Amino acid sequence: MTSDSDTDHTAPAIQTSRTDGVLVIEICNPPVNAASAAVRQGLVAALQTLQADADLQAGVLMGAGNTFVAGSDLREFGQPMQHPQLPAVIAAIEQCSKPVVAALHGAALGGGLELALGCDARVAQAGTQLGLPEVTLGIIPGAGGTQRLPRRTGLLQAIPLICRGERFAAAQALKLRLVDAVVDQDADLRAHAIAHALGLQGRKQRIRDEAVPAEDAAQIAAAEQAALRAGKHQPAVVAAIAALQDSARLPFDEALARERAAFEALRLSPQALALRHLFFAEREATRPPAQWAKAPDAAPRAVQTVAVIGAGTMGTGIAIAALGAGLQVVLLEQTPEALDTGLQRITSHYAGRVQAGKMGAAQASAEQERLHGSCHWPDIARADLVIEAVFEDLAVKQQVFRQIDQHARAGAVLATNTSYLDVDAIARSTQRPQDVLGLHFFSPANVMKLLEVVQGSDSTPDVLATGLQLGRRLGKLPVLCRNAFGFIGNRIYNAYRRQCEFMLEDGAWPEDVDQAMQAFGMAMGPFAVADLSGLDIAWRMRKAQAATRDPRERYVDILDTLCEQGRLGRKSGAGYYTYADGKHNPVSDDTVRAVIADASARRGIARKAIGPTTIQRRALLAMANEAALLLAQGVALRASDIDVVLAHGYGFPRWEGGPVFWTRQQDLATLTRELQALAQECGHGFVVGDLSILLQP
Ligand code: NAI
């Protein structure tokens, strides 16, 4: 799937040429050859030529530039669709009396793969990525993907492929019989496809005429159940399963019509709108703001060597991410013992990858060879970029930055991975605050895609551009934001968690809140998350803030009491829940209820049960309110960035689009009224934002 914003609409979208009686039809719609209306019109015209010209015996369909067709034009999905639509193009290929071979390279995704499956054969270059990612956008393939794909792969393979929407490579496609031949990356794809087309000797071999292979019904039912479980909350998965079932039981054209109807129904559904919103928001987030794009001093600095300070949870994860991106890494610790523990963690990460067959042994050792552990500060002198990941304590970090300042080379970029602390206060402990920025990774840092790139007051544009570029190089989704307590993500999450704590005092139990938020679609409830990450982190932060906290502010001390009782979360066997089996199964606990009831009583609250809808609404309002505040304060540069952060770092359900998208779906007047009422309930310290700011694009 693609967005088509960069398309040059003046160039002809289709170009044709002839070789040995074969019409080569080339799709020219840069950057990704999205199957836009102009492309579809051009294809139909070219197919008419192929049919009408007696000198032509076959066609080859290929993409110009570096890809076949990476998808449909997503922007069209929100509007009335123009004719001819993709199914009509595919019908024209199938109805053409001469065979058409698709020549695939780059990506054949979504509508691109459906187009290829409508052809009589497919030749792919090694490395081509194929897939039907529609369900990840809240829709199903709408141009025969659910019908033609299982005719080749069988339903057992088709169910996970379509319901998860994952990409697969040409070699896998060959095994699945989705392509007929794979040629080397440096082979002449066009020549191979022409030869393949001539080799068909005029024979049509339409997938639609094949039967779905017979497979074990019980296994199919199990695969369907597994897909439905994994795709709970997602109507597109339910519709995909239904369409796949149709493929085996209905005549082709009838099933095809039903697939299209389901696609049409989903296309404008709230979930599809939310998922498309995030799709565009994710692409937008990685672009630096317009005002920088042309600034001559905003070119990123070159980075080949990264020094990571601190080999704990985050430092080792960041090191692994950097090694995976081909960088040299110096990992610095304070003691040989701590260094050894960190290095062992990295070694066992690689051993695990190799054992699981996810990485070759040669690659694993090549990556580890670029890692240099050290306890000597002068070793960071060769780094182009230094990332600090030591304890979350301002004094410790300032001390570490003084060391970095002393040893890093002039011009090196200096980053802190702090979660909450003031980047400026850290930067100003050096003589070069202009070189300092925040790079807030998420745990595990080698897995999580989100990266907040934090602009300090003194950070220069080229330093920020270096952070953004490094993020992209590490395969991350870098989101730029300004320096403020908790940046974007932790600040919104804090507001959410605080609201959930208010609800505990007001009458809900932890499981009421967790179940309601999970029913909304959050990956986990807030109290289960707190137990998982350890309550002591928040406890320490609260203690650090105690001296400056306004005594009139409503402050829920349940967490502090639990920590005082030694309930630090899963790691200590108990937190908001008790973990009967030591770690995994949370059980609600009368001790916790007593702590909560006592907190309510001390505040003079007569506890009243709170229903799931109210819980969800209060929690979402708190998030929306904080989003409005931080957008107004310029902490987030774009409203949509907030949604990207919450969806990628905090388990916010993608199909709800994020707190900003959620707000945009509500009636503003009602929401504003509810917010006023909520502010009353929350008491002193609850700052009310102007939600209308979130409605601006
Ligand atoms: P950790 O406690 O696992 O690791 C910190 C490491 O830094 C320890 O190995 C310690 O020996 C080392 N260290 C301390 N002082 C040092 C010094 N002067 N020189 C060299 N090494 C030193 O902590 P974790 O969880 O990795 O967190 C590190 C930072 O990352 C903190 O600022 C934290 O807020 C932030 N962070 C943590 C996340 C998490 O989920 N754990 C997520 C995002 C950010």
Give percent of the chain with pLDDT exceeding 90: 88
Q: Which atom of ligand 1 is nearest to the CA of 314?
A: 26
SS (H, E, C) 261-313: HHHHHHHCCHHHHHHHHHHHHHHHHCCCCHHHHCCHHHCCCCCCEEEEECCCH
- Beta bridge partners of residue 454, listed in sequence order: 438, 481
Taking each helix axis as running N to C, give the angle between helix 489-506 and helix 526-533, from 0 to 180 degrees, rounded to the nearest 10: 120
Ligand 1, residues at Cβ distance < 6 Å: 309-315, 332-334, 338, 389-392, 396, 400, 417-419, 441-443
Of 433, 480, 438, nearest to 458 (Cα)?
433
651 Cβ contact list (under 8 Å, min separation 6): 522, 523, 524, 529
Whether 452 contacts 464, CB under 8 Å: no
Give yes or no: residues 414 and 513 share one domain. no
Distance (angstroms) between ligand 1 centre and the Cα of 479 equals 22
Whether 406 is covered by a domain: the verdict is yes
Give yes or no: residues 503 and 629 share one domain. yes
Cα–Cα–Cα angle for 217, 219, 220, rounded to 5 degrees: 65
User: Phi and psi dihedrals of 456, rounded to 5?
Assistant: -80, 170
- Residue the block writes with tokens 């017979």: 214
Give yes or no: residues 562 and 650 share one domain. yes
Number of H-type helices and E-type strands within the chain? 28, 19
| Confidence at residue 2, expressed as pLDDT on a 0 to 100 scale | 44
Report the C-alpha gap between 225 and 298 in whole angstroms.
51
301, two tokens: 């600095």
Report the C-alpha gap between 610 and 503 in whole angstroms.
8
Q: Which atom of ligand 1 is nearest to the CA of 316?
A: 26
| Confidence at residue 627, expressed as pLDDT on a 0 to 100 scale | 98
Tens of pLDDT, residues 569-619 = 998 999 999 997 766 788 998 999 999 999 999 999 999 999 999 999 999
Domain hosting residue 357, numbered range:
305-486
For 2, the 3-state DSSP assignment is strand
Nearest CA to ligand 1 atom 38: 443
Number of other residues whose CB lies within 10 A of the CB of residue 491: 23
Give yes or no: residues 388 and 506 share one domain. no
pTM above 0.75, yes or no: yes
Whether 4 is covered by a domain: the verdict is no
DSSP annotation string for 611-626: -HHHHHHHHHHHHHHH
| Cα 345 to the center of its chain, rounded Å | 26
Give yes or no: residues 325 and 469 share one domain. yes
Amino acid code (one letter) for 439:
L
Quickly state the pLDDT bin for 545 (edges 50, 70, 90). Answer: confident
| Confidence at residue 250, expressed as pLDDT on a 0 to 100 scale | 97
DSSP annotation string for 171-220: HHHHHTTSSSEEE-TTS-HHHHHHHHHHHTTT----GGGSPPPP--HHHH
Active-site residues, by number, are 114, 134
Whether 286 is covered by a domain: the verdict is no
Tens of pLDDT, residues 133-158 = 999 999 999 999 999 999 999 999 99
Whether 280 is covered by a domain: the verdict is no
**607 CB-contact burial (10 Å; exposed 0-12 / middle 13-18 / buried 19+):** middle
Exposure of 49 in the CB half-sphere (CA atoms within 13 A): 18
Whether 571 is covered by a domain: the verdict is yes
For 641, the 3-state DSSP assignment is helix
User: Phi and psi dihedrals of 144, rounded to 5?
Assistant: 90, 0
As for how many domains the chain has, the answer is 3
Give yes or no: residues 559 and 425 share one domain. no
222 Cβ contact list (under 8 Å, min separation 6): none
CA distances from 200 to 118, 149, 640 (A): 16, 21, 50
Nearest CA to ligand 1 atom 29: 389
Distance (angstroms) between ligand 1 centre and the Cα of 488 equals 20
| Confidence at residue 354, expressed as pLDDT on a 0 to 100 scale | 96
Give yes or no: residues 494 and 630 share one domain. yes
168, two tokens: 């697969």
Number of other residues whose CB lies within 10 A of the CB of residue 276: 21
Q: Which of 346, 375, 391 to mutate to test the pocket of ligand 1 (most atoms within 8 A of CB)?
A: 391
- Beta bridge partners of residue 104, listed in sequence order: 124
Distance (angstroms) between ligand 1 centre and the Cα of 530 equals 18
Distance (angstroms) between ligand 1 centre and the Cα of 393 equals 9
| Confidence at residue 582, expressed as pLDDT on a 0 to 100 scale | 65
Nearest CA to ligand 1 atom 19: 334
Question: Is it the case that residue 8 has pLDDT exceeding 90?
Answer: no
Q: Which of 379, 390, 540 to mutate to test the pocket of ligand 1 (most atoms within 8 A of CB)?
A: 390
Amino acid code (one letter) for 650:
Y
CATH code of the domain in which 475 resides: 3.40.50.720
Of 274, 262, 273, nearest to 236 (Cα)?
262
CATH code of the domain in which 234 resides: 3.90.226.10
Q: Which of 308, 309, 313, 345 to mutate to test the pocket of ligand 1 (most atoms within 8 A of CB)?
A: 313
Number of other residues whose CB lies within 10 A of the CB of residue 444: 15
573, two tokens: 């066997």
Tens of pLDDT, residues 426-467 = 999 999 999 999 999 999 999 999 999 999 999 999 999 999
Tens of pLDDT, residues 313-334 = 999 999 999 999 999 999 999 9
Whether 274 is covered by a domain: the verdict is no
Give yes or no: residues 219 and 93 share one domain. yes
Distance (angstroms) between ligand 1 centre and the Cα of 312 equals 5
> What is the rounded average pLDDT for all residues in the chain?
94
Tens of pLDDT, residues 523-540 = 999 999 999 989 998 898
Nearest CA to ligand 1 atom 39: 443
CATH code of the domain in which 611 resides: 1.10.1040.50
Distance (angstroms) between ligand 1 centre and the Cα of 316 equals 9
Give yes or no: residues 66 and 81 share one domain. yes
Q: Which atom of ligand 1 is nearest to the CA of 317?
A: 26
CA distances from 399 to 388, 395, 396, 425 (A): 11, 6, 5, 11
Nearest CA to ligand 1 atom 44: 419
Whether 288 is covered by a domain: the verdict is no
Nearest CA to ligand 1 atom 10: 310
Question: Is it the case that residue 7 has pLDDT exceeding 50?
Answer: no
**Domain edge (last residue) among 256, 289, 316:** 256
Give yes or no: residues 172 and 237 share one domain. yes
Report the C-alpha gap between 249 and 305 in whole angstroms.
58
Give yes or no: residues 477 and 540 share one domain. no
Amino acid code (one letter) for 590:
D
Average the pLDDT over 254-277 and give the result: 96
Report the C-alpha gap between 592 and 596 in whole angstroms.
6
Report the C-alpha gap between 495 and 513 in whole angstroms.
15
Tens of pLDDT, residues 14-46 = 999 999 999 999 999 999 999 999 999 999 999
| Confidence at residue 297, expressed as pLDDT on a 0 to 100 scale | 65
Nearest CA to ligand 1 atom 31: 392
Distance (angstroms) between ligand 1 centre and the Cα of 411 equals 25
Report the C-alpha gap between 401 and 422 in whole angstroms.
13
Taking each helix axis as running N to C, give the angle between helix 590-602 and helix 489-506, from 0 to 180 degrees, rounded to the nearest 10: 90
Give yes or no: residues 516 and 554 share one domain. yes
DSSP annotation string for 460-515: -HHHHHHHHHHHHHTT-EEEEEE--TTTTHHHHHHHHHHHHHHHHHHT--HHHHHH
Distance (angstroms) between ligand 1 centre and the Cα of 311 equals 7
Whether 439 contacts 639, CB under 8 Å: no
Number of other residues whose CB lies within 10 A of the CB of residue 674: 16
Whether 671 is covered by a domain: the verdict is yes
Pairing of strands 436-441, 450-455: antiparallel
Tens of pLDDT, residues 366-378 = 999 999 999 999 9
Distance (angstroms) between ligand 1 centre and the Cα of 501 equals 27
Of 65, 181, 67, 156, nearest to 115 (Cα)?
67
Distance (angstroms) between ligand 1 centre and the Cα of 337 equals 15
Q: What H or E segment, with its residue span, contains residue 403? A: helix 394-407
| Confidence at residue 537, expressed as pLDDT on a 0 to 100 scale | 84
Tens of pLDDT, residues 497-517 = 999 999 999 999 999 999 999
| Confidence at residue 4, expressed as pLDDT on a 0 to 100 scale | 39
Cα–Cα–Cα angle for 502, 506, 508, rounded to 5 degrees: 90
> Which ranges constitute the DSSP H helices of 144-188?
145-153, 155-164, 170-175
Exposure of 209 in the CB half-sphere (CA atoms within 13 A): 8
Q: Which atom of ligand 1 is nearest to the CA of 390?
A: 7
Q: Which atom of ligand 1 is nearest to the CA of 341?
A: 9
**Domain edge (last residue) among 486, 502, 537:** 486
Q: Length of the chain in residues, anyone?
A: 697
**Domain edge (last residue) among 432, 464, 486:** 486
Q: Which of 314, 318, 340, 399 to mutate to test the pocket of ligand 1 (most atoms within 8 A of CB)?
A: 314
| Confidence at residue 585, expressed as pLDDT on a 0 to 100 scale | 82
Average the pLDDT over 41-68 and give the result: 97
Average the pLDDT over 396-422 and give the result: 97
